[in-house]
Amino acid sequence: MLLTRFIPCLLLKNEGLVKTVNFRNPSYVGDPINTIRIFNEKEVDELILLDIEASPNNQEPNYKLLTEIANECFMPLAYGGGIRTFEQAQRIFSIGIEKVAINTAAHKNPDLISQIVTVYGSQAVVGAIDVKKNLFGKYGVVSNSGNSRSKHTPVEWLKILEDAGVGEVLLTNVNREGTWAGMDFDLIREISESSKVPVIAQGGAGSIDDLVNAIKIGRADAVAMGSMVVYQKKGFGVLVNFPDKTLLEKRLKE
């Protein structure tokens, strides 16, 4: 097991897995159950699963599918998408999923996080921070799969999530997501150095260098990967994979 976490982040849509670019144009990449079986075989330490259409379509989580996924998944699993009430989160935990990722609902009801944390503890809640540049090139916070803008800066929203009690945050750069163009290490570092909780950086990773530098330069505690774990390489076909752990460990020590 790597001390630094490198986490596959899978996107769910219509009971299938998809990959987006800048949160748009989802392309089918496979069946969630089969994909998770491959990650089980590769002994991946942790997994994030996000339903990208639940919140925009005002849908509840797909509990039936999530039950099947939880029964198949041998690693800790975080799920996000469509969780708007404590009761929905409670049902997710009862299925056997260890963490819930809260994004859109927190913008409407920040107390939801506090409710969940009070019962299940801070380690059970991931606060999702999606950021996107505005017309002036400044990063702002978005929600609802990137369709709604917040008045808060990323650091302001981080502090609100911390005050609510989240155990960690998932920082996703919408401008880089799915592009293979590299990660914004300055943004990652700004959030990491402002944060009292672990930061998972996501968006733009296309190489081992990106993963390692998100930790070394960006000071993130973990990195989430999308395209890198579902495609052979940029412009090539689907191939579920995971970076070589020995190589990652070696590069982190350099």
Q: Does residue 248 contact residue 211 with C-beta atoms inside 8 Å?
A: yes
Spatial distance between the Cα atoms of 112 and 59, rounded to a whole number of angstroms? 17
Question: Model pTM?
Answer: 0.96
Residue ranges with strand state E in the chain: 5-13, 16-21, 24-30, 47-51, 77-80, 99-102, 125-133, 139-143, 148-149, 168-173, 199-202, 222-225
pLDDT at 3: 81
- Residue 128 CB neighbour total at 10 angstroms: 24
Phi, psi of 136 (to 5 degrees): -95, 5
pLDDT band, very low/low/confident/very high, at 242 (cuts 50, 70, 90): very high
Task: Give exposure, 166-193, as e/b (b: 16+ Cβ within 10 Å).
Answer: bbbbbbbbbbbbbbbbbbbbebbbbbbe
Q: Is 130 annotated in the active site?
A: yes
pLDDT band, very low/low/confident/very high, at 198 (cuts 50, 70, 90): very high
- Active-site option among 45, 51, 111, 130: 130
pLDDT tens digits for range 77-135: 999 999 999 999 999 999 999 999 999 999 999 899 999 999 999 999 999 999 999 98
Q: Domains, the chain, ranges and CATH?
A: 5-253 (3.20.20.70)
pLDDT tens digits for range 130-182: 999 998 899 999 999 988 999 999 999 999 999 999 999 999 999 999 999 99
* Tokens matching residue 32: 């969630």
Q: How far is CA 211 from CA 60, 64, 114, in A?
A: 33, 34, 31
- Residue 152 CB neighbour total at 10 angstroms: 15
Spatial neighbors of 223 by CB under 8 A, at least 6 apart, are 4, 5, 6, 7, 200, 201, 202, 205, 210, 211, 214, 215
Spatial distance between the Cα atoms of 180 and 189, rounded to a whole number of angstroms? 19
Give me the numbers of helices (H) and strands (E) for the chain, helices first please.
10, 12
Model confidence at 219: pLDDT above 80:
yes
Helices (H), 165-231: 185-194, 208-216, 227-230
